[in-house]
Amino acid sequence: MNKKYADTLRSRMDDDSFAKLDVLANDALFAFIADAVRLCAPESIKVCTDDPADQAHVRQLAIDNREELPLNIEGHTVHFDGYFDQGRDKQVTKYLLGKGISLDKNLNSMAREEGLRELHTLFAGSMAGRQMLVLFFCLGPTNSPFSIPCAQITDSAYVGHSEYMMYRSAYEHFKAMDPSEEFFRFLHTSGRLVDNVSADAEKKRIYIDIADNTVYSVNTQYAGNTMGLKKLALRLAIRKADREGWLAEHMFVMGVRGPRGRKTYFTGAFPSACGKTSTAMLPGETIIGDDLAYFRVIDGQVRAVNVECGIFGIIRDVNPEDDPLIHKVLTRPGEVIFGNVLVKDGAPYWEGMGRALPSEGINYTGQWYDGKVGPDGKETDASHKNARYTIRIADLDNRDEKLDDPLGVPVGGIIYGGRDSDTSVPVTESFDWAHGIITMGASLESETTAATLGAEGVRTFNLMSNLDFLAIPLGKYIRNNLHFADDLPQRPRIFGTNYFLRDDNGRYLNGMLDKSVWIKWMELRVHGDVEAIEAPTGLIPLYDDLKRLFAEVLRKDYSQEAYVKQFTIRIPENLSKLHRIENIYRHDVADTPAILFEVLSAQRERLEALMKTAGEYVSPFDL
């Protein structure tokens, strides 16, 4: 190791950690760590490898530091974030842009030099008296065309423990890789702590330096802000994918069983709390991942991998009836981290778990009791609406055998879905690739949820469920998706879903498990096993096919009345949506591809033509 790095690092780490680092022979890595040490001034440094003993050290450190508290079931712990640190904070998550670089106005950004000066002040001396952890992970499977190596520096053992559960350990990957290979960098500090939680929420910052592939997060512990490899790294991966001709998406990957032992792989983009994990975890199917996917064309075929190997999921409404496989992992011995739930007598409780919650206990507010008012003057919940769990996918009974396949899985279908109470039918197939990308992906709308800070229940535009994470212009991102499958002999089919359609009285028209039927119908469509009805917005199921599938899959009778309510084409609402989406692209998105307006215009013409002949609300039987 070069002396200028060795002198800085050796003084704060033992011989074992120094040897582990020195053997990597990577000056870019050494410079990143040495700069972080000089800035943050940790008391000591622990370099962790792929060795289970190092992972055990990090987990025990989280308990010793009281960042996690042990629960009654062996291997279970709970972590609490600060009262004002309960979700991804979009307002203080910004891109650092050098001179001459700009992004869409939708994307928060600031001048790079200004941001780095601010970070220098916030990070200065932040790890005094603490141990700095240096960790190595891989986005995607290791030794794969999809692999992106990552170096994580943090003073939070909880963050390190969470990432060991969520990502493949990659010390050996760093040891084998060429020192010139690109890697992502992450620097995090919890900042000043009071009662083991970040105390200076007003000084919370999450900045992404796109010039240096580096993510900085300070004065926060919430995993969505601090697990750099998750949504923060997605921003860097989108830029890398743009340069190299592949896609980085906010999507699950799952296997759907079809007739005669067939399995078809689907990916799906759903904003938080819109049914994404519950779709990926449907009974009888297999899961590869619930959140992030990379896509490449390999040997003339679209293939995808799960970027992660764990789940950081919303725990609200996870119960034995609706999410039996996840619930099983959450209630048996094994490694689980609960976040921001209620704890009473060493047991975790959360909203919608299928049993009554205690009227007092410990939660993200400290000692909690029914009716307690928080520091913002609002009454608090027993378990936060965005309370979470962290588990390994390998611990799930329905894990797919190709979870870690270096070449990923072939993609048969792509699904886009949001929260929509009055417009879209439960399931639709696009007419073609461009129609699906534009009217289902680039036109995605959803109501806001507790997964992000701010008001709930507001319908927002969220193309491909990726708007919050884009680090390239929106028009360019849409073009990348449109052209990704060019020249392929067979493209994945594209579908739109909506689990949240309501009747005039506000009652949901979809049952919780009806999505099991919609996904089976999609699997059949991929292979051309069933016909479809042509509606102005896409292809929808025939009643007889759904009646058979409801009987086979859910053992339920499916009435014509239910079919008509669910699949009536709501023309005024669809036209209103087209107007909203077109207005966004005309006024807020620079360099929108012309084909987007052409496809939206053609859809409007089909809707208006149908309205002239059949009225504003058209039964599927009248199409």
595 pLDDT more than 80: yes
Q: How many CB atoms lie within 10 A of CB 577?
A: 22
What amino acid positions are annotated as catalytic residues?
274
Q: Are residues 459 and 473 in the same domain?
A: yes
Asked whether residue 73 is assigned to any structural domain, the reply reads: no
Listed in sequence order, the residues at least 6 apart from 462 whose beta carbon sits closer than 8 Å to its beta carbon are 271, 418, 444, 445, 446, 468
Q: Is residue 578 a part of any domain in this protein?
A: yes
119-153 pLDDT tens trace:
999 999 999 999 999 999 999 999 999 999 999 99
Last residue within a domain, chosen from 359, 394, 429: 394
User: Would you give the distance in Å from CA 583 to the centre of its chain?
Assistant: 27
Range from 156-165, 317-326, 507-516 that averages highest in pLDDT: 156-165
Same domain, 390 and 420: no
- Return the amino acid letter for 378: K
CATH number for the domain that contains residue 474? 3.90.228.20
481's tokens = 């998706």
**Of the given ranges (195-199, 246-250, 332-336, 527-531), which has the lowest mean pLDDT?**
195-199
* Least confident range of 65-79, 221-235, 367-381: 221-235
265/207 same-domain check = no
CB atoms within 10 A of CB 609: 11
The answer to whether residue 336 is domain-embedded is: yes
Residue 74 lies in a domain: no
Same domain as 616, residue 474: yes
Choose one of 203, 223, 244: the last residue of a domain.
244
Q: What's residue 450's pLDDT?
A: 54
* pLDDT reported for residue 453: 53
Question: How much of the chain is helix, strand and coil, in % rounded to 5?
Answer: 35, 25, 40
- Under DSSP, the state recorded for 396 is S
Number of separate domains in the chain: 3
Average pLDDT, the chain: 94
Are residue 409 and residue 539 in the same domain, yes or no?
yes
- Give yes or no: residues 338 and 224 share one domain: no
- Rounded to 5 degrees, what angle do the CA atoms 582, 584, 586 make? 65
For residue 408, pLDDT beyond 80: yes
Query: Both 340 and 417 in a single domain?
Result: no
Verify that 425 and 298 share a domain, yes or no.
yes
Average pLDDT in the 260-289 region? 91
Q: What is the pLDDT of residues 423-460, one digit of tens each?
A: 999 999 999 999 999 999 999 998 665 555 556 557 78
pLDDT for residue 454:
59
Within this chain, do residues 122 and 13 fall inside the same structural domain, yes or no? yes
Mean pLDDT of 286-292: 95
Whether pLDDT at 581 is above 80 = yes
Pair (582, 466) in one structural domain:
yes
- In the predicted model, is pLDDT for residue 249 greater than 90? yes
| Residue-number span of the structural domain to which 35 is assigned | 3-68+80-244
pLDDT digits (tens, 9 = 90+) for 53-74: 999 999 999 999 999 999 999 9
pLDDT of residue 65: 95
Same domain, 162 and 194: yes
| pLDDT value of position 420 | 87
pLDDT of residue 494: 98
**Which amino acid is it at 16?**
D
Residue 526 near residue 413 (C-beta atoms within 8 A)? yes
Query: Domain boundary at 218, 244, 270, which?
Result: 244
Residue with tokens 């530091």: 65
- Of 178, 187, 190, which is closest to residue 212 (Cα–Cα)? 187
Instruction: State the CATH number of the domain containing residue 238.
Output: 3.40.449.10
What is the spatial distance between Cα 96 and Cα 94, in angstroms, rounded to a whole number?
6
Asked whether residue 168 carries a pLDDT value surpassing 60, the answer given is yes
The predicted-structure confidence for 26-51, as pLDDT tens digits, reads as follows: 999 999 999 999 999 999 999 999 99
Q: Are residues 219 and 268 located together in one domain of the fold?
A: no
Torsion of CA 251, 469, 305, 241, to 10 degrees: 130
pLDDT > 90? residue 103: no
